[in-house]
Amino acid sequence: MRQQSLHYRTGYITDFNLDVFEHLKVVDYGNPDFELPPFGKKNPEEILKAQASMEQKVNDVLDVGAVPIVIGQNSPCSSYAIAKPIAEHTKGNVGVVSLDAHWDINPIDEDTYDPRIAGAANWKQKMYDSHGNIHPKDLVEIGERGMLEIKDRVRWFLDQGAHFYSMWQVRQMGIEKIAQNISYAYENTNAVYAHFDMDVLGGAGPASADILGELAEPIGLSDYEIIRLAHEIGKRGVTGFSFICIPPGSQVIYRTIVYVIMYMLAGMVLAKAESN
């Protein structure tokens, strides 16, 4: 992502005739102080140590009133480790906007079977189990589809009031209506956490779905659609933002992440200008 960001001259976005860096101070705060082996099963203690390192970085950013934007690859370090500090910093409820091909609401991490671990398939469940100020009624979940989920677990979230837009609904309703409905995460909440799992791209590009391997699913969001949603989140305001499961080996995917961040920041600038 850092390498691909060098492809761009400035923070000037042609679409809005706006230079983001003339209005916002944006800092690369560097990597957290941990490194896990890329393959094979992880020791739960290693995972918890890595999570704590990520939480410290996020806490540092929140403590100075800035917005953490975390670019990562797996849970908990690029998901729960952002949600937890936001919940702990917030007096009141936290809304969540989540883009994903999977709900990630299994009862336990199926790699370690350790109840302390917020893993790839259970981090969101862990978030709701662990923090009383994050409630499914303030969740806007976008992008899941197909035959991947345990029906009872999804139905529980729906019964609790979660606002869910499957890809089937996104195609029927259109992305502008979905962007409007992000507002449900902002009603009666004091903070909003946005999380983009990039396997939500699935079969719609911008790169071939096969680059995602076993995570690819048909009827994915397009690059424009995720950038449009990020822009809407920026306009409404966001407390913290994270990326996960970034498909490897594609320059256009990496550039898509850069666009998501910059168009989200542009939304923040434009909203402030409109309010003045």
What CA–CA distance (Å, rounded) separates 268 from 232?
A: 9
Quickly list DSSP for the chain: -HHHHTTSSSSEEGGGTEEGGGT---------S----SSSPPPHHHHHHHHHHHHHHHHHHHHTT---EEE-SSTTTTTHHHHHHHHHH-SS-EEEEEE-SS----SS-TTT--TT---TTTHHHHHHHH-TTEEEEEEEEE---SS-S-HHHHHHHHHTT-EEE-HHHHHHH-HHHHHHHGGGGTTT-SEEEEEEEGGGGGGG-SS-GGGGGGG--SSPPPHHHHHHHHHHHHHH--SEEEEE-PPTT-HHHHHHHHHHHHHHHHHHHHHHHHH-
Mean pLDDT, rounded, for 99-108: 97
Higher-confidence residue of 257 and 202: namely 257
Is residue 124 predicted with pLDDT exceeding 80? yes
Report the CATH number at residue 160: 3.40.800.10
What's the pLDDT at 210? Answer: 66
Sign, CA torsion 126/133/87/169? positive
Share of the chain above pLDDT 70, in %: 95
Mean pLDDT, rounded, for 167-182: 98
Q: Which amino acid is at 137?
A: K
What's the pLDDT at 208? Answer: 63
Number of domains the chain is built from: 1
What's the pLDDT at 95? Answer: 98
What's the pLDDT at 248? Answer: 80
What's the pLDDT at 203? Answer: 65
Residue range(s) defining the domain that contains residue 58: 2-275
| 260 contacts 230 by C-beta, under 8 angstroms | yes
CA distances for 63 relative to 68, 80, 104, 184, angstroms = 10, 18, 29, 26
Q: What is the largest CA-CA distance in the chain?
A: 53
| 102 contacts 121 by C-beta, under 8 angstroms | yes
Tens digits of residue pLDDT in 231-262: 999 999 999 999 999 888 888 889 999 999 99
Q: Which amino acid is at 53?
A: S
| 20 contacts 269 by C-beta, under 8 angstroms | yes
What's the pLDDT at 212? Answer: 76
Tens digits of residue pLDDT in 2-16: 999 999 999 999 999
CA atoms within 13 A on the CB side of 120: 15
pTM for this model (two decimals)? 0.96
